[in-house]
Amino acid sequence: MNSRRRKSSKTPRGPRGGPGPRPLSLISSKTQLSKAAQLYYVEEISQHQIAKRMNVSVASVSRALDKARRLGIVRITIHADADDFSQLEIALEQAFGLRECLLVPSFEQIDHVYAAMARSLAEILGRILRRGDTLGLSWGETLKAMGDNMPPVPVKGVDVVPITGALGTIDTGIYPGSLARVFAEKIGGTPYLINTPAIVGSDAIRRSLISDSSFQQILDMWKRLNVVVLGAGGLGKESSMFRASIFSASELEAMQQAGGVAACNFILFDESGNAVRAEVADRVVKLPLNELKHVEHRILIAGGRNKAHALAAVLRSRIATAIITDVECARALLREGSEAPAPAAREAEKST
């Protein structure tokens, strides 16, 4: 008698003596797709549990749920509020390579738009500012409105510094030092003033002033900037630069002749978002573009549909990481596009 055991060739048996279960590779019929979707989305059963229940692999369940969405068996609807602009925000973020876009409703009165944008600015500053940070401020009527309307931001311990020299008049509130003081009050920070004039006689004078030892503290603070808040606008008579008598009509015209269509922190940009050199702009004491682009958070604020053309040029430069604007301006920005139109197309637009 052979005592050696023979290898068993029997098929593993199930609990009732039949073959054991073997997971199927896929879920194919619409009935099965619907069942998987019902279990997952309505019954809230995990994919692993569904796989065991339907005798398939977890990967099959995942593919089935994806196929159910593609075939329209599952339709996901988000019931957003009337003032939910998330889809438009995402579209703008994707179009211009932004980390974040915050939109507010458009109102007939620009003051109401400014008030809404100021609340959004407080919200984003509350998220990104930390004790010990340095906040830089550009210049203009929009930033003044932000400071006036912004609710308190409980951060504290933040240094606030202008990123341009002194310009405008103190009584208007657009004076950079005044802006720094107002923002510092709102966030519990310390304001710093720049007494060096922003507009000087020549680029050589500008270079001499910023190389002076008295300006070193400001240069050091500019190197420590964590967040900057920027305004932007066109180069026409509607701009803050003209209304505040910073530049004359002929000086703005010289900027346009150099190819400029927009300005941000007195840096000129053409339609494609390229920086433009102009003698009059080269005389401005300001944070240089190459240093500005190294600041981690760069928040651009502008409102009104009439600003869209200039704002699009600034956004194409990638100077901003975030934007706060109103819905009408956002829609106009998407129409402008992330790339400048060809000259022929722009002329055709003007003629229509």
Give the Cα separation of 311 and 271 in Å (integer): 10
Q: Which residue has the tokens 């760069």?
A: 298
Q: What is the pTM of this model?
A: 0.75
C-alpha closest to that of 309 among 342, 332, 341: 332
pLDDT score at 269: 96
Q: Name the class of domain 86-339.
A: alpha beta
**Type of residue numbered 44:** E
pLDDT of residue 92: 95
Q: Which sequence spans correspond to the domains of the chain? A: 30-70, 86-339
What is the number of residues in the chain? 352
Angle at 196 between CA 150 and CA 182, to 5 degrees: 15
* Contact assessment for residue 43 and residue 53, using Cβ atoms and an 8 Å cutoff: no
Per the DSSP assignment, residues forming a β-bridge with 164 are 286
Reference 227, options 149, 134, 119; nearest CA is: 134
**155 in Cβ contact with 131 (< 8 Å):** yes
Q: Quick one: pLDDT at residue 273? A: 95
3-state SS assignment for residue 126: helix
Spatial CB neighbours of 133, under 8 Å, sequence gap ≥ 6: 155, 158, 159, 226, 227
pLDDT score, position 79: 66
Long-range own/partner contacts, residues 53-58 (CB < 8 A, 24 or more apart): 54/24, 54/27, 55/21, 55/23, 55/24, 56/23, 56/24, 56/25, 56/26, 56/27, 57/23, 57/24, 57/25
- The DSSP code sequence of 267-336 is EEE-TTS-EE--TTGGGB-B--HHHHTTSSEEEEE--SGGGHHHHHHHHHTT--SEEEEEHHHHHHHHHH
The pLDDT value recorded for residue 26 is 65
Is the CA virtual torsion 201, 207, 212, 218 positive or negative?
positive
pLDDT averages per 10-residue partition of the chain, 352 residues: 45 45 61 87 91 87 91 80 81 95 92 95 94 95 94 93 82 76 95 90 90 91 97 88 85 92 94 91 91 96 90 96 96 86 45 32
Tokens of 64: 């089935």
Q: Residue written as tokens 């593609």?
A: 70
